[in-house]
Structure formats: structure tokens, C-alpha cells
Amino acid sequence: MTQVTLSGLTKIFDEKSPPAVDQLDLEIESGKLTALLGPSGCGKTTTMKMIAGLLRPTSGDISFDGDSILSIPPEDRGAVMVFQNYLLFPYMTIAENIGFGLKMRKVDRMEIRTRVTDMLDLVQLPGFEDRKPRQLSGGQQQRIALARALIVQPNVLLLDEPLSNLDAHLRDEMRELIRRIQTEMGITTVFVTHDQEEAVVLADRIALLFDGRLQQFDVPDAFFESPQSVEIAKFFGGTNFIPGHYEGGEITTSIGRFRAPRSAVGGGDAVLSIRPEAVTLGADGGNSVMGRIRSHVYVGRYARFRVTLGDIEVEAITDPGQVKLFNDGDEVPVTFDSNKIWVIGPASSSVE
């Protein structure tokens, strides 16, 4: 198991443009699965390629277990990258594809055969040795690419958008497979994704990047419960925002004053953020204000309401049975769970 540390990591492709990666400090814990998450062009794949040795940083350092690896060539770093498009050799059999790295290391032929068989069992494709890549589905090719990376027993596994080319049901299967293999082998794994759900489901920790800069590095639930900015909360979606002024554990807004003991700011202008699941309709439990139901949607497992509160509109996600209790146009108490309110600083920009 290997700890990966990025220190002031910077990559500039064009002096006239902002850095692709800008002063990135990150400590990737040994034996854990870490996601590099962010919108297209935020620098996540560039960061991964620098770890793999495919790109050289403009400045900064990368170390494995405290030792810099910048002077070590890619093939000797002990880091293996699985690319988004798999890059299987079409003229080779599956066994030859998986065993290619061992062949280059001049490992004995019989040992290669044994380890290829073990890898096929690991990725749940036994008996596929003699097939060619064109005979495999996209999900099967992804498994073979993973097996080819794992057979050389790397210290660090790097996955570039590992599920982006798969259908929805195959993505679920591959998530479970990647998580199981990573847990069983205890290998330090970094994967790049632009999909918030994928990052939350797979990762032990998430590094969120915007414009080449690290915004928040945290456990998955923190991005929902305690995002460090409005921009981060927007990126994860589904959050209600109400501007106000924060002081003494309370936030005063245009629709009323609310208890809010959890905050990322000390005081002053701020934004009340609360997820729709923490908004309750029809019961005045304190931290309440009267609102009028504008619309609702029955989704089966839950109901989604849009409610106007003065000049503010919020969303509430409730038990599906509440569609029988309320009609559009009804005036109802709307309660914000004080323990679920998170107060953050005002928005500085718009993030899609």
C-alpha cells in the first residue's frame, strides 16, 4: 500500500492561459479509493497523468510514501493507469492482453498463464483466455483492462473515467466490482470522474476541483451535509439557498429568522443552505414559516413539492403519502430542521 502526496502541483500548458492544475496540495491515503471529481476541463485527468508520469509538472512535487517520484520513469513508478477507451490490443487474445505487462518484464510463461487465470477469476470472466477484444462487450473489455493493470501488482491504480462508456446497468456492476477488488487487494486507487453519484458511491474521499484548484477534499457525505461554498453545493445539486445575515447561531432572512448552529462562517452576510429532504410540510416544529404550495410531483418512492415563501421558492422532498394531504395552492407551515441547515458564505461565482 502506498500513500500519494501532491505538493504545490502545477501544470501550465500555455503561458497565456490559466494553469490546468494550480498549486494542488493533496494527500491520498494508503490503501484507500480517492475520486478526483469536477466538471470538464477542471484538471482532474491532467493531475492523474502527472501521477502516472505521462505529463511532467511545471512545478511542485509528487511523492510515494514520502519519496519524490518525479525523476522516476513511468514504467518504474509502480503506478498503472487504465484509460477511458481501454486500449486493448485488437490482434492479441485476452490472455495475451492481460499478460502483456508480465511478458515485458520477462516473467516465466507458466507463471504468466497462472496469473492470467487468477486475474480472469478476479474480474469474473473465467474461460475468456482465447477470445479477442472484438468478441467482448464494453463492460467485459473494461474488466479486461482492469485485469491487465492489476496483474503487474501496482502500488497505485489510476482509473480515468472508468465507467463513462458503459450503460447504466453495467455501471452498477462495475462499481461493485471495482469496490470489491480495491477492498480485497487494499491497493491505493485514484479515479477520475465528472459524475457526482459515481464519486459518492465509490470513493472513500473526494477531491473536488474547479478550474485547476482544489475546492474541498472530504468524505462523500460532507459534500451534502457541509459543503464549503455555494458553488460546491450547487455542483452537487438539489440544495435550497436563502441569503441572509448570520449572527449568534441564527440567520435572518427575508422570510424570517432561523436557528442554525452549523456554519462554515463566523458571521455577517451568508447563505442558508438546506437540502429538500430536511424541509417538512404541514407541521410547525419551530424554525417554521408559512408557505404556499406552487406545484408537486409524485415520483413513487417520494413526492417533490415546490413551495413559495414570500419572495423565495424552495423544494421539499417528502413521504409520497403527502400528495394526498396537500393540494397546489394550499397554505402550509414549512419547517427547516435546524440540525440540517448549513450556513455558508455568499456565492462568488456561478457554477453549472
pLDDT of the residue at 188: 96
Using the Cα atoms of residue 271, residue 273, residue 279 and residue 284 in order, give the sign of their dihedral.
negative
Together in a domain, 292 and 190? no
Together in a domain, 275 and 155? no
pLDDT of the residue at 170: 81
Scored b (16 or more CB within 10 A) or e, 72-102 reads eeeeebebbbbebebebeeeebbbbbbbbbb
Name the percent of the chain lying above pLDDT 90: 80
Rounded CA-CA distance 98/210 in Å is 36
Full 3-state SS string of the chain: CCCEEEEEEEECCCCCCCCCEEEEEEEECCCCEEEEECCCCCCHHHHHHHHHCCCCCCEEEEEECCEECCCCCHHHCCEEEECCCCCCCCCCCHHHHHHHHHHHCCCCHHHHHHHHHHHHHHCCCCCCCCCCHHHCCHHHHHHHHHHHHHCCCCCEEEEECCCCCCCHHHHHHHHHHHHHHHHHHCCEEEEEECCHHHHHHHCCEEEEEECCEEEEEECCCHHHHCCCCHHHHHHHCCCEEEEEEEECCEEEECCEEEECCCECCCCEEEEEEECHHHEEECCCCCCEEEEEEEEEEECCCCEEEEEEECCEEEEEEECHHHHHCCCCCCEEEEEECCCCCEEECCCCCCCC
Rounded CA-CA distance 214/233 in Å is 15
pLDDT of the residue at 107: 92
Together in a domain, 15 and 103? yes
N-terminal to C-terminal alpha carbon distance within the chain: 37
Together in a domain, 175 and 210? yes
pLDDT of the residue at 83: 85
* Cα 211 → chain centroid: 16
Together in a domain, 102 and 171? yes
Among 67, 76, 38, 7, which Cα is nearest to 194's? 38
Residue 41 domain-assigned (yes or no): yes
Residue 351 domain-assigned (yes or no): no
Hey, which residues does 33 pair with through a beta bridge? 189
Number of domains in the chain: 2
Instruction: Identify the domain containing residue 322 by its residue range.
Output: 238-344
| 243-261: average pLDDT | 95
Question: Cell numbers at residue 284, please?
Answer: 410547525
pLDDT of the residue at 245: 96
Q: Is the pLDDT of residue 45 over 90?
A: yes
Residue 349 domain-assigned (yes or no): no
Q: Give every CB contact of residue 332 below 8 A, 6+ residues apart in sequence.
A: 281, 282, 290, 291, 292, 293, 307, 326
Residue 287 domain-assigned (yes or no): yes
Question: Cell numbers at residue 271, please?
Answer: 447563505
Angle at 224 between CA 23 and CA 42, to 5 degrees: 30
pLDDT of the residue at 250: 95
Instruction: Indicate the pLDDT class of residue 162, thresholds 50, 70 and 90.
Output: confident
- Which of 189, 224, 259 delimits the end of a domain? 224
Instruction: Indicate the pLDDT class of residue 351, thresholds 50, 70 and 90.
Output: very low
pLDDT of the residue at 348: 60
Residue 25 domain-assigned (yes or no): yes
Hey, which residues does 288 pair with through a beta bridge? 335
Predicted structure pTM score = 0.89
Residue 118 domain-assigned (yes or no): yes
Together in a domain, 126 and 248? no
Q: What is the mean pLDDT of the chain?
A: 92
Together in a domain, 108 and 171? yes
Together in a domain, 212 and 323? no
- Which of 224, 250, 275 delimits the end of a domain? 224
| 193-207: average pLDDT | 94
Together in a domain, 68 and 186? yes
Phi-psi group of 160: left, alpha or beta (phi > 0 → left; psi -120 to 50 → alpha; rest → beta): beta
Tens digit of each residue's pLDDT (9 = 90 or more) over 28-43: 999 999 999 999 999 9
Tens digit of each residue's pLDDT (9 = 90 or more) over 47-93: 999 999 999 999 999 999 999 999 999 999 999 999 888 789 999 99
Own/partner contacts of 215-218, CB < 8 Å, gap of 24 or more, are 217/26
CATH of the domain at 166: 3.40.50.300
pLDDT of the residue at 352: 36
Together in a domain, 204 and 263? no
CATH of the domain at 304: 2.40.50.100
Together in a domain, 182 and 309? no
Among 230, 226, 265, which Cα is nearest to 248's? 265
- Which of 224, 249, 264 delimits the end of a domain? 224
Residue 230 domain-assigned (yes or no): no
Together in a domain, 294 and 169? no
Please give the biggest Cα pair distance in the chain.
77
Question: Cell numbers at residue 100, please?
Answer: 502483456
Residue 233 domain-assigned (yes or no): no
Tens digit of each residue's pLDDT (9 = 90 or more) over 87-114: 899 999 999 999 999 998 999 999 999 9
Q: Yes or no: say if 198 and 166 are a contact pair by the CB < 8 Å rule.
A: no
